[in-house]
Structure 1
Amino acid sequence: MYTEVPGAVVDDDGALVHLGNPVAEQRALAAGTALTPLDDRRVIAVTGEDRLTWLDSLTSQALASLAPGESTETLVLDPHGHIEHAASVLDDGETTWLIADRADADGLLLWLTRMRFRLRVAPRDASAEVAVVGGAPAALAGIGVAAPAGVPLVWHDPWPGVTVGGHAYAADDAHPGAERDWAEAIVPRAELARIVECAAAGELALAGRDAAEALRVAAWRPRRAGDVDERALPHELDWLRTAVHLDKGCYRGQETVAKVHNLGHPPRRLVALQLDGSGTVLPEPGAPVRAGDTEVGAITSVARHFEQGPIALAIVRRTTPVDAALTVDTDDGPVAAAQEVIVPPDAGATAGVPRIPRLSRRAASSA
């Protein structure tokens, strides 16, 4: 699809990775002058009168009263509170639209289909009809967004705000995600083809997946693809902010969510890493993170940011000291990694989470 766009590089699945200059693409995405086809997303549509109360009963977010056009996100947990699936959620008054990572979509749809019972719900894969395009809301304003029920299907990322019923573990002051204005539009497949044609003609600026991922990592924004393994709890990723409602009724995994939040501490925690940029090799996801000779965690996401250089998200043991000198394994040897606390070691509502002072990147860059 992208072969006519100058500089386009695609992966084996045909997804747009970059257009030859990921740094410039990041700047354009951040400034709202480019948009990116999110080929690594798929869309599930759920129709039926019971769709919202049904989804509310199954997942971590309060969805029963979701208003048309309101954006939120939710998680499907296993009985022990581990994350199985994640989805961005938007309802138009007739259909609930779920945006999921491509690798997770089949499993999510299969699980939803099995959980229908006798309720008036009908989940289906809508990816053959629609695609997802991301960017700042201003960049998406000029495209033909799908609106089958009269409500434009634009999902506005609530991160890093704390939604009703949510809870923040990371310090609110100068959270880097506050500088990221992100939305994802569901568009007809024909509109995606038109967007690509306009980009090929130089009438519209595109950015690739690498640029979008770099902005996400810099915002400490968790994602099902990459940051979640079979042991991941929402607390470990600071995902109680936007994907969990702590005061809603029962759902699978809810008991663990409440116990960890109110009575204990998550066993691991998400950290941001500023990587030594003197080398040319970035660590791979899954690369061990070490404190001295001891392996304390692993990289989940990594990127080269247009301002910060090489950065990463990693999951480490809760007990890893916040001032520990960390290194990350790469093919060229260990790389030094400066830790930034996202989830504090004593995270938990009753633990009195401290507010850790953190200088705003924007303020630092202007000093």
Structure 2
Amino acid sequence: MSAFAVRDGFVASSGALGAPAAHFGNPIGEQRLLERGSAVVELGLGVVTVAGPDRLSWLNSITSQQLTGLPTGVSTETLVLDQSGRVEHAARVVDDGSVAWLLTEPQDAAPLAAWLDSMRFMLRVEVADRSADFVTVGSFTDTGAVADAVVEWVDPWAAVTPGGWSYASLEAHPGSDWTLRIAVLTPGAAAGLAASDRPVAGLLAFEALRIAVWRPTLSDADERTIPHELDWLRSAVHLTKGCYRGQETVAKVHNLGHPPRRIVQLHLDGSDAVLPAPGTPVVLGDKEVGRLAASAVHHELGPIGLAVVKRSLDPTATLTLTADDVVVSAAQETIVPPEAGATANVPRLPRLGAVKRS
């Protein structure tokens, strides 16, 4: 059982054992408190630890972020890619001086730990899935928000990280004021927090705030996702570090090509009070042009979502989705523009044997 199940109005986010709250009876009110930094939210993240003197250089060699020499207490984010550059795992990373803490989506903790363990070879590292031993709690403040944290991860999303790149075209990025902190707590510390008078929020509130600032997570990815499509070069990829699996695709798409798909924010018509679920096809006319990655009701923006669509899709086109047999229209807000990539500006050479016409 979640430690926060003792709070009035607790509604579990799923039927899984120990699932955190979806809400406590007032998702919109909880959202406002969470955004102001008053409330905390149990996130239910997976926790994987990597100990041993080779931990950071080893993680550096097999993931997308520059981790060698990561200072103690400094937070970052990294991806595990396959040979084709597709996202397999994602982790929020902070090192406490002796252990690297990797926080990931709950369903990815065991697979990530198993993959890391298979890559150890002769290096001095020890990998463990510690998800059952800790509770992850998020809050939005400029300072440490939860006492007795074993370790705290500070989201770097507010700015482009060193070695990263943002495809978002807006000068005033909606994530520039994003101050998410995630505290890793022992069950006892979590129980003490739950028993306090600190306001609490559920995952519905958190998801709305995340979508509003275009913040990607592994839940937005599918088996074809490359980091560029979600604007994940901003926080999770170092473009000039040494080799790692999938680096060739990252560099080729960024320098010479364009990501085949791109993420957009959708502003959904709320007239019928229905919300399309993640995975819902996104349609233009009678053709499917993408899929909905996430959706929520924001306290100011109303019903919103993140969708991954074809690169060639007209950014001004009005799209439709279906929820409970109701057709919901959606306006796009561009995050990754169609022209993203090809940053090297290499001129295209004519094909061998092609006839040049005047």
For 1:212, the equivalent position in structure 2 comes to: 206
The Cα of 1:4 is off from its aligned counterpart by 2.4
- Match of 1:179, SS state, is coil
Q: Does 1-10 or 186-195 show the bigger shift?
A: 1-10
Amino acid corresponding to residue 304 of structure 2 in structure 1:
I
Correspondences of 1:34-73 after superposition (within 5 Å): 34-39=39-44, 41-73=45-77
Q: Distance in 2 between matches of 1:25 and 1:138?
A: 19
Q: Distance in 2 between matches of 1:134 and 1:26?
A: 12
Correspondences of 1:1-367 after superposition (within 5 Å): 1=2, 2-10=4-12, 11-13=14-16, 14-39=19-44, 41-137=45-141, 140-146=144-150, 153-198=151-196, 203-225=197-219, 227-350=220-343
Amino acid corresponding to residue 79 of structure 2 in structure 1:
L
Cα deviations by residue, 1:146-171 (Å, 9 ceiling, x for unpaired): 1xxxxxx1111111411111011002
Q: Does 287-296 or 102-111 show the bigger shift?
A: 287-296
Amino acid corresponding to residue 252 of structure 2 in structure 1:
K
TM-score under structure 1 length normalisation: 0.90
The Cα of 1:142 is off from its aligned counterpart by 4.3
Q: Does 10-19 or 304-313 show the bigger shift?
A: 10-19
Question: Residues 139 and 160 (structure 1 numbering): CA distance in 2 closer, same or farther, change over 3 Å?
Answer: closer
Question: Residues 349 and 160 (structure 1 numbering): CA distance in 2 closer, same or farther, change over 3 Å?
Answer: farther
For 2:353, the equivalent position in structure 1 comes to: none
Q: Distance in 2 between matches of 1:279 and 1:254?
A: 45
Q: Distance in 2 between matches of 1:303 and 1:248?
A: 36
Cα deviations by residue, 1:238-278 (Å, 9 ceiling, x for unpaired): 00000000000000000011001111000000000000111
Q: Distance in 2 between matches of 1:178 and 1:217?
A: 14
- Give the % identical residues: 52
Amino acid corresponding to residue 123 of structure 1 in structure 2:
V
- Match of 2:176, SS state, is helix
Q: Distance in 1 between matches of 2:232 and 2:300?
A: 25
The Cα of 1:350 is off from its aligned counterpart by 2.1
Preserved CA contact (<8 Å) 2:253 2:342: no
- The unaligned stretches of length 5 or more in structure 1 are 147-152, 353-367
- Match of 1:289, SS state, is strand
- The unaligned stretches of length 5 or more in structure 2 are 346-358
The Cα of 1:175 is off from its aligned counterpart by 1.2
For 2:351, the equivalent position in structure 1 comes to: none
- Match of 1:320, SS state, is coil
The Cα of 1:195 is off from its aligned counterpart by 1.3
For 1:149, the equivalent position in structure 2 comes to: none
Q: Distance in 2 between matches of 1:99 and 1:299?
A: 24
Q: Distance in 1 between matches of 2:182 and 2:195?
A: 20
Amino acid corresponding to residue 7 of structure 2 in structure 1:
V
Matched positions, count? 340
TM-score under structure 2 length normalisation: 0.92
Q: Distance in 2 between matches of 1:142 and 1:183?
A: 9
Q: Distance in 2 between matches of 1:134 and 1:349?
A: 37
Q: Distance in 1 between matches of 2:289 and 2:171?
A: 27
